[in-house]
Structure 1
Amino acid sequence: MSRIYLETVINADIHCVFDLARDIDLHQNSTSKTHEKAIAGRTSGLIEENETVTWRAKHLGVYQTLTTKIISMDKPIQFTDEMQKGAFKSLHHQHIFKTVNGKTVMTDIFEFESPLGCIGKFFNKFFLKNYLTNFLLERNKMIKTVAESNSVIDMKKQFS
């Protein structure tokens, strides 16, 4: 299993950052390069515990679908999503939030495993882990930008 660990320091309130991290509309805007679109389950707004979302996106030149479910949530401290159906053998993503010196530290712990045994492990190590790290960094950059802009209310207008 491969693991990605990221910390992003955001100069904004923990409640704001927590909500932005689970906002379906912001996620779609932050992943515009892969044409990611919520097509089933929760397709807009803030996803909640026990809800699912099915994403359709173009990764590595191929359109794929991935269904995830929010398996736990403790507002505004953490939420965890887990793949229910998709191309991975497994996918588990913890989102953890804490306030440090008046700022929010947003931590991603993203664990995944590709199918195809040894070939999948090789692909994870030499390509997929870097690809997914960059994908998450881009998403986190948008969350940080919106949270620090003091215009969260206008977020949907800004990214529509």
Structure 2
Amino acid sequence: MPRLRLETFVPGATPADCFALSLSVDAHAASLAHSGERAVGGVTSGELRLGDTVTWRAVHFGIPFRMTAAVTAYEAPYRFVDEQVAGPFARWRHEHLFTAVDGGTLMVDVADFAAPLGAIGRAVDVLVLERYMTRLLRRRNAWLAERLAGAVQRGGRAGAV
């Protein structure tokens, strides 16, 4: 089962701003607009909280997917976890960590996932999904960091999309 760990430094931003924007359904959809990602069930706008679910619809590899995720841990403003409760993965768990560091916040993503279908799924994990998910999360994080840094430069709050 692949385990991704990505670090993104966000200059000038606080853990609270990073935490809030990372939990924004609207920011998630905007950051992954290239895949047509949109919320179609559960919480479909605003900021997620502990126990909330959201069902996403997106197109990846030219195939439409639906995934329902739940916020299963919530320790504002330093950590939350979302996990798939229904969808294409045999397992999806994504931990988000936010730590104040000199000059800003370090966002850390730890994603554990597995494709279905046993040995075939493990091959897909290694040959395709690990690289694809890394690129997807990096793209999302770059969008978040740009949005947050821009808000800091404008002297405003970063939580709004």
User: Runs of 4+ in structure 1 displaced over 4 angstroms?
Assistant: 151-155
Report if aligned partners of 1:72, 1:79 keep a CA contact under 8 Å in 2. Answer: yes
* 1:130 paired to 2:131: yes
Match of 1:109 in 2: 110
Question: 1:121, 1:95 → 2: CA distance?
Answer: 24
- Secondary structure of 1:72's counterpart equals strand
Corresponding residue for 1:140?
141
Are residues 1:17 and 2:18 paired? yes
Letter in 2 for 1:13: T
Asked whether the equivalents of residues 146 and 155 of structure 1 are also in contact (C-alpha less than 8 Å), the reply is no
Instruction: Determine what percentage of the aligned residue pairs are the same residue.
Output: 33
Q: Determine the structure 1 residue equivalent to 2:78.
A: 77
TM-score where L is the length of structure 1: 0.94
Q: What SS does the corresponding residue of 2:134 show, helix, strand or coil?
A: helix
Whether the 8 Å contact between 1:78 and 1:97 is mirrored in structure 2 is yes
SS of the residue 1:26 aligns to:
helix
CA distance in 2 between counterparts of 1:60 and 1:78 reads 30
User: Shift in Å at residue 155 of structure 1?
Assistant: 4.9
Deviation at 1:14, TM superposition (A): 1.2
CA distance in 2, matches of 1:98, 1:4: 18
CA distance in 2, matches of 1:56, 1:100: 35
Aligned residues: 156
Seen in structure 2, the aligned counterparts of structure 1 residues 127 and 101 have a Cα distance that, compared at 3 Å, is: same
Cα deviation code 1:102-134 (max 9, x no counterpart) = 310000000001111111111110111100110
TM-score normalized by structure 2? 0.93
Which residues in structure 2 correspond to 1:81-100 (within 5 Å)? Answer: 81-100=82-101
Question: For each residue in 1:9-52, what CA deviation from the matched residue of structure 2 results, as whole angstroms up to 9, or x when unmatched?
Answer: 10111111111111110110111111001000010110000000
> Does the Cα contact within 8 Å between 2:67 and 2:87 map onto a contact in 1?
yes
Distance 2:81 2:66 in 1: 19
Where do 5+ consecutive residues of structure 2 fail to align?
A: none
Structure 2 CA distance, aligned partners of 1:90 and 1:128?
A: 13
Deviations 1:69-113 (A, max 9, x none): 000100001000000000110100000111011310000000001
Output the aligned Cα RMSD. Answer: 1.3
